[in-house]
Amino acid sequence: MLPNSSAEPDGSAVVRVLSYNIRSLRDDTEALARVIRACAPDLVLLQEAPRFFRWRKKLARLASATDLVVLSGGGTSAGPALLCSLRATVERTEDVLLPLTPGEHRRGFATAVVRFGRARLGVVSCHLSLRADERYEQGGMLLDRLAGLGVDHAVAGGDLNERPHGHTFRRLAAALQDCWATKPWGTEQTFSPDDPRRRIDAIFATAGVEVLGCGVPTEQPGVTRADLRAATDHLPVLAALRIPAS
């Protein structure tokens, strides 16, 4: 079992973080909500959140259906978004648009700094380019953004559009903890739900964050394979992290 959220006597906090590409809510939104609720996350890092017609209302409905609140992102960050539980105290948020390559999709980051009691955490949700050269540059921007949050501990997650042997994935894993590689739990491959053979979604954490477990939550009570297949075209990644007190 993955550890539940908790506040520790030393001021640290166990936080559950879920990263999930939701394909603009084009699939079975009830199945999606069931998966998210069953994972009991404190933070949800979304990719391909709604970003066009009535996107705020659609994102708010998903948050309400999962007993969470919208933290940042969506249309203002070109897709990445953050949800959080009421356990989190929000210090600040910022939506970031990345440089646009002509002919490519606009990309961005949804970012925040939150606290869980005395534990302070920076958060970034990302969805990197399909183009290898642009993706590598965006990986560097992600590392710069994490460093610029001004916190001791941070987590980043998203759809990298690349497997672990790729240049960008390896760049991130050299600077951060690849949470699956650090403490694997559940299963590894995230794409596609019907026949998962590729790990292209990941959660990373800075040094000092203790990874208690991370992976696709196939072993999480309440998460069914039918819901995972129906919810969207990616599988989610769930991590339990112990964040030291600041």
What pLDDT band is residue 103 in, cutting at 50, 70 and 90?
confident
Environment class of 194 (CB within 10 Å of its CB; exposed 0-12, middle 13-18, buried 19+): exposed
Q: Which of 211, 204, 200 is nearest to 234 (CA)?
A: 200
What pLDDT band is residue 38 in, cutting at 50, 70 and 90?
very high
Superfamily, domain 6-243: Endonuclease/exonuclease/phosphatase (3.60.10.10)
What pLDDT band is residue 5 in, cutting at 50, 70 and 90?
very high
- What is the predicted pLDDT for the residue at 4? 95
Number of neighbouring beta carbons within 10 Å of residue 190: 25
- What is the predicted pLDDT for the residue at 68? 98
For residue range 174-191, list pLDDT tens digits in order: 999 999 999 999 999 999
What does pLDDT average to over the chain? 97
Q: Can you give the residue ranges of every domain in the chain?
A: 6-243
For residue range 116-157, list pLDDT tens digits in order: 999 999 999 999 999 999 999 999 999 999 999 999 999 999
- What is the predicted pLDDT for the residue at 237? 98
- For the cut 90, the answer to whether the pLDDT of residue 207 exceeds it is yes
Taking the CA of residue 235 as centre, how many other CA atoms within 13 Å lie in the half-sphere pointing to its CB? 29
- What is the predicted pLDDT for the residue at 1? 83
Environment class of 189 (CB within 10 Å of its CB; exposed 0-12, middle 13-18, buried 19+): middle
For residue range 51-75, list pLDDT tens digits in order: 999 999 999 999 999 999 999 999 9
Question: Could you give the percent of the chain with pLDDT greater than 70?
Answer: 100
Q: What is the total residue count of the chain?
A: 246
What pLDDT band is residue 231 in, cutting at 50, 70 and 90?
very high
Cross-strand partners of 108: 97
